Structure 1
Amino acid sequence: MKIVIFGLSITSSWGNGHATTYRGLLREMDRRGHEVLFLERDAKWYASNRDLPEPSFCSTIIYDSLERLLGEYGPEICDADCVIVGSYVHQGIEVGKWVTKNAKGITAFYDIDTPVTLASLARGECKYLNRELVPHYDLYLSFTGGPTLDQIEREYGSPAARALYCSVDPLVHYPMPVTPRWDLGYLGTYSPDRQPGLEELLIRPARSWKKGRFAVAGAQYPADVAWTENTHRIEHLPPECHSEFYSSQRFTLNLTRKQMLLAGYSPSVRLFEAASCAVPVVSDHWPGLDQFFLPGEEILLAFDYQQMLRILQRFPEDERRAIGERARQRVLRSHSAACRAEELEEYLTSR
């Protein structure tokens, strides 16, 4: 198939989780014989941080004007077998209206931020999707599954809401033979609604356990965050460095944004990345988590800093390694980019 995607970014992973998702998925779609054209709006914060400026597995166009893009490439977009518009795309409503009106093939909205999208739709504040547009897309592909899919069909009129969860690319994220430098690490861009969890489950344990070693990688953290002396900070970590970072931790922390936590069935990209590196994940709890990893066997849960400290200080080393390996096997079996590409192909061919 010829597939066209309007996405937030594939060339830069700076400050967003969209790029790694698109990279793994489109690489696998290319391997399955599909031709993909990715359309990315030029943005200065991505232009200065392009860690994959020319993906080898898809054609990429960086455009600065939607009008010029459609004027030049409109016929090619219209003739595609499928056109997908992602969440947070600049002028996403205008793009969606044009695509659903003119595209001859299947049209789909790919929501990498489903609970955030639905909350902003309810307030009438979403800039990349509106209620009127949802029924015009043939498919609503969602990072969130469970009851949310029924809500999208029932309340918003989508003809077909389907889960297309985030995934991991095992070629990029894999165990590395390094000695762990940190007892607990976390990788994630700053988010106000994740910060209380980071304070409780990493900063507070670091403050209480002076001999412990901690690390936080991610951009946009405010200057007033009170990092401890035993916490190593990394401002930006490109995807090619993730495996070494995860493999350098005894345990890694997964935190879920508030709206994703409330909706449930919303695994994060970082969750699968860490598991693919065979690093035991300690996560907050949310509905549907056990659909992705079995608590106590493939993932650990912590509700407060005391539980976290018990895990870090007392967990048997052989069982720590075993949990990480079981999580990796689960990811390779069910949550790889290859799995998602197969699911997407099935959705498209069944329409």
Structure 2
Amino acid sequence: MQNKKLNIAFFGSSLVSAYWNGAATYYRGIVHALSERGHQVTFYEPDAYERQQNRDMDDPDWAKVVVYEATEEAVYKCLTDAGHADMVVKASGVGVFDELLEREVLKLQTDHRLVVFWDVDAPATLDRVHNNPNDQFLQLIPQYDMVLTYGGGDPVVNAYEALGAKKCVPIYNALDTATHFPVEPAPRFACDLAFLGNRLPDREARVDEFFLKPAALEMNKKFIIGGSGWGDKQMTDNVQYVGHVYTNDHNAFNCTPKAVLNISRESMARYGFSPATRVFEAAGAGACIITDYWEGIDFFFEPGKEILVAHNGADVARIVADLSKEKAKTIGEAAYKKVLAAHTYQHRAEQLEKLLYAKVQSSNKALA
């Protein structure tokens, strides 16, 4: 069993488009690393939210991508097709027919097939079910062989297990070394501080505090914001909005500024232990990262040496005002060494593989 290579059916938002899809780079890193370990992944994604019209990659050679129409008929056809797999994954936030998929994937569960729920936004999912006792997902949680999460640490694990999950394990996001690495600076991204993130209700107030407020306090510094949805946001004159930044520009976006800013969504900051994928992407490009505070930062990077931590916008302004190019370079290099040593998707895939084998051996599953 230890040498068994798995055939995995994965229902997610999108592997080939990061457009309104913050989980894309997480999926790519995990799936690519699983492929390198000999496992086969078929990724089922809906044609929705103009993602297919805004692809930032072709179908990869390390996964089979099945794009289906956003119809019930197409979903059921994919579910039938997924019956060939050793393991079926339903990710959160597919975007269309999520409730149907949450329910129907469980019908594929057998003594020989694991069915796993993979929550890429556990704080939002947990808030949803805690606020709605009639949510069908509450009855489904105990039926999955396991729940995997994008992050969240003990608070998320304890919350899921309290809801009856057989097992809940965080598989933290990480660095995809094939995609994110140091490159030559790009003049269009030159600034003192850059932030990349889509405009979301759960993030906007924290962007106001940790990015726009420091920009207003440090008018002699240049700030850049990238991501979808900020076009009509009021900003000071020293802030430049560069729109959606495609994945193939992320390295230059991270390498060029003196520092890059990570701002957690409110729910992820509240649960803690939820570093955004962009933290690892930026570290993989050798960037000097300033992050808003959340519990668990030191589980991933050493504050002050590998990452700079701000508790509010005034902290960010002070850090930007005092940060020399030399100090920024030293911190960026330290983060780069740490992420290569401990936080690549190869590390995560190895963890996942051991977890799956242990689950199979401790249950009546027999993936043989």
Q: What TM-score do you get using the length of structure 2 for normalisation?
A: 0.89
Whether the 8 Å CA contact 1:111–1:142 is kept in 2: the answer is: yes
**What are the within-5 Å matches in structure 2 for residues 4-23 of structure 1?**
4-23=9-28
Q: Percent identity?
A: 31
Whether the 8 Å CA contact 1:78–1:103 is kept in 2: the answer is: no
State the number of aligned residues: 347
Question: 1:229-263: per-residue Cα shift (whole Å, max 9, x none)?
Answer: 22121111111100001111111111111111111
Partner Cα separation in structure 2 for residue 184 and residue 126 of structure 1: 44
Tell me, which stretches of 5 or more residues in structure 1 are unaligned? none
Partner Cα separation in structure 2 for residue 97 and residue 206 of structure 1: 46
Whether the 8 Å CA contact 2:44–2:78 is kept in 1: the answer is: no
Partner Cα separation in structure 2 for residue 273 and residue 337 of structure 1: 11
**What are the within-5 Å matches in structure 2 for residues 71-150 of structure 1?**
71=77, 74=80, 76-89=81-94, 90-104=96-110, 105-124=113-132, 130-143=137-150, 144-150=152-158
Whether the 8 Å CA contact 1:120–1:126 is kept in 2: the answer is: no
SS at match of 2:54: coil
Q: Which is worse superposed, 199-208 or 54-63?
A: 199-208
Q: Which is worse superposed, 249-258 or 65-74?
A: 65-74
**What are the within-5 Å matches in structure 2 for residues 162-181 of structure 1?**
162-178=169-185, 181=190
Partner Cα separation in structure 1 for residue 78 and residue 104 of structure 2: 14
Out of 228, 240, 246, the residue aligned to residue 238 of structure 1 is: 246
Tell me, which stretches of 5 or more residues in structure 2 are unaligned? 1-5, 360-368
RMSD: 1.9
Whether the 8 Å CA contact 2:231–2:241 is kept in 1: the answer is: no
Partner Cα separation in structure 2 for residue 78 and residue 11 of structure 1: 23
Shift of 1:52: 2.0
Answering whether residue 350 of structure 2 is matched by residue 345 of structure 1, we say no
SS at match of 2:44: strand
Amino acid at match of 1:93: E
Question: 1:148-185: per-residue Cα shift (whole Å, max 9, x none)?
Answer: 202211x2111110011122212211112327711000
Partner Cα separation in structure 1 for residue 39 and residue 68 of structure 2: 23
Shift of 1:71: 3.7
Partner Cα separation in structure 2 for residue 151 and residue 60 of structure 1: 33
Partner of 2:366: none
Q: Which is worse superposed, 90-99 or 325-334?
A: 90-99
Q: What TM-score do you get using the length of structure 1 for normalisation?
A: 0.93
SS at match of 1:60: strand
Whether the 8 Å CA contact 1:6–1:40 is kept in 2: the answer is: yes
Amino acid at match of 2:174: S
Amino acid at match of 1:99: V
Question: 1:69-103: per-residue Cα shift (whole Å, max 9, x none)?
Answer: 434661x4223111110001222232232222223
Out of 272, 277, 296, the residue aligned to residue 269 of structure 1 is: 277
Shift of 1:47: 2.4
Question: 1:169-225: per-residue Cα shift (whole Å, max 9, x none)?
Answer: 1221111232771100000001233223222332222223232111000002261x2
Classify 1:192/1:93 alpha carbon distance in 2 versus 1 (closer, same or farther; 3 Å): closer
Shift of 1:315: 2.5
Out of 31, 37, 40, the residue aligned to residue 42 of structure 2 is: 37
Partner Cα separation in structure 1 for residue 13 and residue 306 of structure 2: 32
Answering whether residue 226 of structure 2 is matched by residue 217 of structure 1, we say yes
Partner Cα separation in structure 2 for residue 126 and residue 24 of structure 1: 35
Amino acid at match of 1:347: L
Amino acid at match of 1:349: Y
Question: 1:18-76: per-residue Cα shift (whole Å, max 9, x none)?
Answer: 111111111111111111100011114212212224122110111123434434661x4
Shift of 1:126: 9.5
Amino acid at match of 1:227: M
Amino acid at match of 1:255: I
Partner Cα separation in structure 2 for residue 191 and residue 68 of structure 1: 29
Partner Cα separation in structure 2 for residue 321 and residue 3 of structure 1: 41
Classify 1:202/1:68 alpha carbon distance in 2 versus 1 (closer, same or farther; 3 Å): closer
